[in-house]
Structure 1
């Protein structure tokens, strides 16, 4: 016995109204709930779908909401696992070296104030890029929310103040130690932000393929 599309949509809407806000998590749960209800009806439960569903939710809703939290933890783990994997990519040290050279040339050719300003806005540029990409992605996806995609904002925020930490611990960039310390820190921040941008694009594309039916 198979549930109708209307039944499936009813389950999805119910879960969404129960604070299971991420479409990818709901998709997993809908499949699980629908399969269990179909099994019950095939086993001899002659009641209507809505009656069987109501009984099922009385028995299992608390566990489903608990599973929702576990899915979110899994999303965070997936982000960091992908991030650590990307750190091992040969392009990562290359990005760091290019960043160092770029910031050094900036310091050599522009004023101290200009250099400090550019260093301080590095994370903002990356975070703004992520927000813009996410907004575009959301509009394409008809405002559906995806767990891993949305939670990528947290590591971006974590890196937001990193260059300022180095800047606040240096007095003048004219001193060699301060210059290397600041450029090294800002380059590290820029490299990490770029890695996040790269994995964001990869995860966006992965969700595009995996959850194409939700588009």
Structure 2
């Protein structure tokens, strides 16, 4: 017998209550526990029937509280690098989609033409676009986190996004460009590459956001 949506919600709320904050890890644990209950409990309705602390479900979960939390801590440690790799793969796949690949090539072609005409204008367009993308994407990441809470995979996207920004901004720094007018093709295309990475990371983030919202809807 499969668990109802309300019963799955109870599992999710219990895990959240014991400090399992990352939603995507909690999703996996909810699935695992739900399957465990479906396979081992004969009368599921009686199992979830409320009777205070004597409710079989509550007693069952409390007896495994330490086990669940230890499992969560292990998954959290492993999840960061796993999600970084997963995110990089997603970004690569996004980059070779025909519509994105063509858009990037067209933008590159336009920047190249403008660079040949006026390096300063080309640089300023790319630099301003990069800064605007950084602020816009940062706001969107924060809005999502505020609405849905901590999500490990989104943390990976945000980490790559911030790393891209730090590397682009400081190695070498592009701050003197506007104050000193030290434009160069190298800085132009370095910033262009960073802008494209921002764009691809954000598109992958939107795809992941949709998947997470669907999962949350199932738990709602």
TM-score, normalised to structure 1, is 0.70
1:67 aligns to what? 75
Compute the displacement of 1:83 (Å): 0.8
The answer as to whether partners of 1:96 and 1:191 remain within 8 angstroms in 2 is: no
- Structure 2 residue corresponding to 1:189, chosen from 176, 190, 194: 194
* Closer, same or farther: CA 149–190 of 1 in aligned 2, 3 Å: same
1:77 to 82, 85, 91: 85
Alpha-carbon shift at residue 117 of structure 1 (Å): 6.2
User: Would you say 1:98 and 2:107 are equivalent positions?
Assistant: yes
Alignment partners' CA distance in 2, 1:189 and 1:32: 39
Corresponding pairs, count: 206
In structure 2, what is the Cα distance between the partners aligned to 1:51 and 1:98?
Answer: 60
For 1:31 and 1:104, how far apart are their aligned partners in 2?
53
User: Which runs of structure 2 are paired with 1:43-192 in the superposition (5 Å)?
Assistant: 48-90=56-98, 91-92=100-101, 94-95=103-104, 98-99=107-108, 101-102=110-111, 105=114, 120-137=127-144, 142-161=147-166, 162-166=168-172, 179-192=184-197
Report the Cα offset of residue 80 of structure 1: 1.1
Q: 1:39 to 1:65 in 2, by over 3 A?
A: farther
CA contact (8 A) 1:24 1:146 kept: yes
Q: Does the alignment pair 1:21 with 2:21?
A: yes
Determine helix, strand or coil for the equivalent of 2:21: coil
Q: CA deviation at 1:153?
A: 0.9
| Cα pair 2:95 2:101 within 8 Å, conserved | yes
Cα offsets for 1:122-178 (capped at 9, x unmatched): 443222222333345456xx434433234311111111131553455999867xxx6
Match of 2:50 in 1: none
CA distance in 1, matches of 2:202, 2:81: 21
Length-normalised TM-score, structure 2: 0.68
RMSD (CA atoms)? 4.0
Q: 1:66 to 1:179 in 2, by over 3 A?
A: same
Q: 2:169 touches 2:175 (CA, 8 Å); kept in 1?
A: no
- Residues 187 and 104 (structure 1 numbering): CA distance in 2 closer, same or farther, change over 3 Å? farther
Q: Distance in 2 between matches of 1:169 and 1:124?
A: 11
Where in structure 2 are there 5+ consecutive unaligned residues? 48-53
Higher relative contact order (CA 8 A, sep 6+): 2
